[in-house]
Structure 1
Amino acid sequence: MALRYLQTDFHLPPGVPRTSTVRDLVHRFFAGYRWFQPVRFGGVNMAERLEPGPFDPDVLAAYYDEFKGFTLGAKTDRDFLQLSPERHGRYPYTGMFTWSTSVVEAKKPGWREAHLRQVVEVMHLLGSPLVQSGIGDDFERKNNRMVPNEDGFGSTWVFNLRDYSEGLTGLFWRNIFGAPFVKHFGSRLDAIPATQRQSLDGGLVLVQPYELPTQAMTPEGDTAEARLITTLGPESFFDLPTLTRPTRVPDPASLPPPVS
């Protein structure tokens, strides 16, 4: 049976995080949070191996300092992290930090509580304006699609929306909105039932349509998501059935400035 991933995407501000920030980040993963035991690192293929014993964040920080990104994995493909800042400035809001693990973890109430607390801490560390967390299949169906080529031969994989400056592709299990989206949605956030909304440290707001990520892509999950999208305003979301792009997007002046 194929592994079902729980994916947590931290959308980054423009620019490349400082090496000192990344060192702090990876130290928290494995000295504080203990998300998994890191074994492999490098590019997408994770060709480098860590020495046995306590994790040394300086090893990964040195790699990041040279290459401005990394993938870090456990012994198996069950757990991994990937940091991919937008280095060239062409699409300034496409930078991403992603944490993937087995969705089985989210069955545990204590794990879900720790996940939320730790995600908020990492958001503040990275200056992330938006975090979305849910099952990988839900991201695939909302974020990308295959489009037939005009010449009739083959298809091309395209983004429904390139980044958060263009709006949102939908709501996932957990959606944590930073200042640009809190401002964007305004009082509409207050109209969401208290069971599906939570104010967090630093002015962040959690919107969670359903209790468990495995409720995504089910009739009850889709209904709960649609109801909240109606409350927040469908014009802020990509409409997959009609392929209609958002007509209301965050104010560019509210989006995070480049990392300095």
Structure 2
Amino acid sequence: MAPRSLKTRFSLPPGVPSTSTIRELARLFFLEYRWFQPVRYGGFNMANRLEAGPFNPDVLAGYYEDFKNFTIGAKTDRDFLQINPERHGEYPYAGSFTWMTSIVEPRKAKWREAHLRQVVEIMHLLGSPLVQSGPDDDFERKNWRCVPSEDGVGSRRDFNVRDYSEGFAGLYWRNFFGAPLVKHFGPRLDALPAEHRQALDGGIVLVQPYELPTQAMTPDGDAAEARLITALGPESFFDLPTLTRPTRVPDPASLPPRVS
């Protein structure tokens, strides 16, 4: 059985983060937070190798300046980061920044505390209105489904909800809602049980159905998630059993403007 991965996905505002922002992110990732020892970088295949010695944020910033995306990873595929802004404006809220690591990390209370603080710091730096964290296979089951191909041969993957402007695919282990989404849920968010809701710096609100990400995709975890979705309003979420799309979505006027 393949090792399970923990995904932390930052939804980006429309547009492309500046190179200076990426340089600061790289400094935080590898010189302050020390998420992992970076070895490879580039496109998805990470064909370039970093020189031995202290990490230089200018290397990643320079690559980003040329290509407006990057993937950077450790020696193995256990840990990597990937940023994919939506550059063309066709789906302006679909850009993302993703951090992948082992699902065993959150067993440590100190790691969970650091994850909470660091996610909030990066949300503010990126202007991200939504971050969700949980097992990669939980993202897979909630965001994608197989549908018959248009030519009648085989099947293809199709998304359930493309981005937060279309509603939400579900709740995960950790769900960080920025100001536009706090406004969307309103008093329903305030009414959640205290053990599942936490106010964080800058008006961000954390919603967490269960203590550990390994509780996702279990009967108890699914039941906890369902209770919170009922409290927040199921009309804002994609319904997997019926494949029903959200009927209540965030007000477009409240969503982040395009960054330059």
SS of 2:186's partner is helix
CA distance in structure 1 between the partners assigned to 2:127 and 2:149 by the alignment: 38
CA distance in structure 1 between the partners assigned to 2:84 and 2:20 by the alignment: 16
Q: Provide the residue aligned with 2:87 in structure 1.
A: 87
Q: Provide the residue aligned with 1:227 in structure 2.
A: 227
Q: How many residues align?
A: 260
Measured after TM superposition, the shift of residue 3 of structure 1 is 1.4
SS of 1:206's partner is strand
CA distance in structure 2 between the partners assigned to 1:247 and 1:78 by the alignment: 37
Q: Provide the residue aligned with 1:212 in structure 2.
A: 212
Q: Provide the residue aligned with 1:39 in structure 2.
A: 39
Does 2:117 align with 1:120? no
Q: Provide the residue aligned with 2:243 in structure 1.
A: 243
Residues 179-231 of structure 1 deviation map (CA, whole Å, 9 limit, x = unaligned)? 11100000001111100000000000000000000000000000000000000
Residues 10-39 of structure 1 deviation map (CA, whole Å, 9 limit, x = unaligned)? 000000000000000010001110000000
SS of 2:76's partner is coil
CA distance in structure 2 between the partners assigned to 1:152 and 1:59 by the alignment: 46
Measured after TM superposition, the shift of residue 156 of structure 1 is 1.3
Runs of 4+ with deviation above 3 angstroms: none
CA distance in structure 1 between the partners assigned to 2:172 and 2:230 by the alignment: 15
User: Which amino acid letter does the alignment assign opposite residue 141 of structure 2?
Assistant: R
Same amino acid, percent of matched pairs: 77
CA distance in structure 1 between the partners assigned to 2:214 and 2:63 by the alignment: 35
CA distance in structure 2 between the partners assigned to 1:151 and 1:115 by the alignment: 45
Q: Provide the residue aligned with 2:100 in structure 1.
A: 100
Measured after TM superposition, the shift of residue 62 of structure 1 is 0.2
Measured after TM superposition, the shift of residue 150 of structure 1 is 4.0
CA distance in structure 2 between the partners assigned to 1:22 and 1:147 by the alignment: 37
Q: Provide the residue aligned with 1:130 in structure 2.
A: 130
Residues 156-180 of structure 1 deviation map (CA, whole Å, 9 limit, x = unaligned)? 1101011110000000000000011
CA distance in structure 1 between the partners assigned to 2:38 and 2:176 by the alignment: 27
Alignment of 1:7-18 (within 5 A): 7-18=7-18
SS of 1:90's partner is coil
SS of 1:138's partner is helix
Residues 68-87 of structure 1 deviation map (CA, whole Å, 9 limit, x = unaligned)? 00000000111000010001
Q: Provide the residue aligned with 1:30 in structure 2.
A: 30
User: Which amino acid letter does the alignment assign opposite residue 61 of structure 2?
Assistant: A
TM-score by length of structure 1 reads: 0.99
User: Which amino acid letter does the alignment assign opposite residue 191 of structure 2?
Assistant: A
User: Which amino acid letter does the alignment assign opposite residue 82 of structure 1?
Assistant: Q
Q: Provide the residue aligned with 1:162 in structure 2.
A: 162
CA distance in structure 1 between the partners assigned to 2:149 and 2:90 by the alignment: 25
Measured after TM superposition, the shift of residue 152 of structure 1 is 2.5
Measured after TM superposition, the shift of residue 151 of structure 1 is 3.6
Q: Unaligned stretches of 5+ in structure 1? A: none
RMSD of the TM alignment (CA)? 0.6
Q: Provide the residue aligned with 1:253 in structure 2.
A: 253
